[in-house]
Structure 1
C-alpha cells in the first residue's frame, strides 16, 4: 500500500519505460512494485537524480511543474535576472490556470532563457505539457505525454546543484521531500522555504 495518492502508476515499470535510470542505480529499482518503493530505495542509496526522474514522471503534470517551480523559487533571489524571473512567474501562473495563452508565455520565456536555469526548465515543463511543440501557424506537433517530466527533472536537479554546490545531497533530500508531499496530496511546502504562490486544488 502506498500513500502517494497522486501517482497513478501502479508499478515502477510503468514509469521506467519513459526514463533512463543510471546503470549504478538500476539495482535499487524494483519494477513490479509501487513507484514509492523504488523512489525511497534510490534516495536511501544516494541516487537522488534518478529518484527525481521517477517522481517527476509519477506526479500529474500540474503537480510536477509546481514541484519544479518550488525548487526554482528556492534559489530565486535579487541576483536573478528579469527573464528568469519572468520564466518562473509564467510557470507558476500556468500551474494555477493551465491555459494555452499561459503555456505559450512559458514557451517564450523558455526560449529567452535558453534552457539553462531551473526557472527556464520549469517554464519548459509547462510548455511541453500540452498544446504543440511547433510555433503558432506551423503544423501542430503534439508533445510526447512524458516529455514535461524530463524538463521537471532537469529543473529540480539543477536547482539542487546550484542551491548547494558543495553538498547537493542536502538540497536533493529537501526537494525530494517537497515532491513526495505533493504526491501525498499536499502543497509541497512541508520541507520548503515559504513561497508566495500555492498550487490550486486540482
Structure 2
C-alpha cells in the first residue's frame, strides 16, 4: 500500500463514525488499517484496503474472498465468473474485461463472484458498447465493486461468523498488498 496517507485514501468514500474518529492526518494507510482492525471496524477496513490497493491487486483480493465463500459446490455461473476474473488477471485486455462483464450478468451482481467480475469490467475501457462513444468508468467503481464482493463473501453465508471471515479476508488483502 506504499506510504499513502490514510486521509487521502479515505476522502474517496464514506467512513463510519468510529473510523472517522480514529483517522488522523499523519497515519499511513497501513497504520490506519491496523487501528481499524484493533477497533473491530472491519467494514471500514475492507473499504480502506479496496481503495488503497492497486486495481489488479484489489480484484485479485475480491476473487480470493469470493472463492472462500464458495468452497463447496459453487454453481457453474459462479465458477465461470471467477474463471473470467482469472483470465483478466492473467491477461488484462478488452476481450477478457468484457467477458467478465457477461459472466457477472449471468451469476448476478449481488454475489461475491458477480461483484468481483463487475470490478474487472469497471477497471478500464469503456462502459458502453465497443462501437459507441467512450464512456470512461469513474475511478471509484472498481474499489466499490471489490468492497461489495468482500462484504458479500463475509455476510451471505453464516453471517454469525462474519468477524472471523473479515479477519481472514483482511489478512489476505494485506498479504496481497505486501507482494507488490
Asked whether the 8 Å contact 1:29–1:42 carries over to 2, the reply is no
TM-score of the two chains, using structure 2 as the length reference: 0.93
Q: Runs of at least 4 residues of structure 1 off by over 6 A?
A: none
Q: Which of 61-70 and 12-21 deviates more?
A: 12-21
Deviations 1:124-173 (A, max 9, x none): 11111011111222221111223211111110111011353112000000
Taking a change above 3 Å as real, the CA distance of residues 52 and 76 of structure 1, as seen in their structure-2 partners, is same
Q: Structure 1: give runs of 5+ residues left out of the alignment.
A: 1-6, 187-202
Taking a change above 3 Å as real, the CA distance of residues 104 and 81 of structure 1, as seen in their structure-2 partners, is same
Q: Give, in angstroms, the shift of residue 67 of structure 1.
A: 0.3
Determine which structure has the larger helix proportion and give its number: 2
Rounded to whole Å, the distance in 1 between the matches of 2:159 and 2:120 is: 26
Q: Which of 93-102 and 24-33 deviates more?
A: 24-33
What's the RMSD between the two structures over aligned residues?
Answer: 1.6
SS of 2:4's equivalent?
A: coil
Q: In structure 2, what is the equivalent of residue 56 of structure 1?
A: 50
Rounded to whole Å, the distance in 1 between the matches of 2:101 and 2:111 is: 14
SS of 1:21's equivalent?
A: coil
SS of 1:31's equivalent?
A: coil
Instruction: Tell me which of 9, 14, 21 is aligned to 2:8.
Output: 14
Q: In structure 1, what is the equivalent of residue 137 of structure 2?
A: 143
Instruction: Tell me which of 115, 122, 130 is aligned to 2:116.
Output: 122
Instruction: Tell me which of 34, 40, 49 is aligned to 2:28.
Output: 34
Rounded to whole Å, the distance in 2 between the matches of 1:103 and 1:9 is: 30
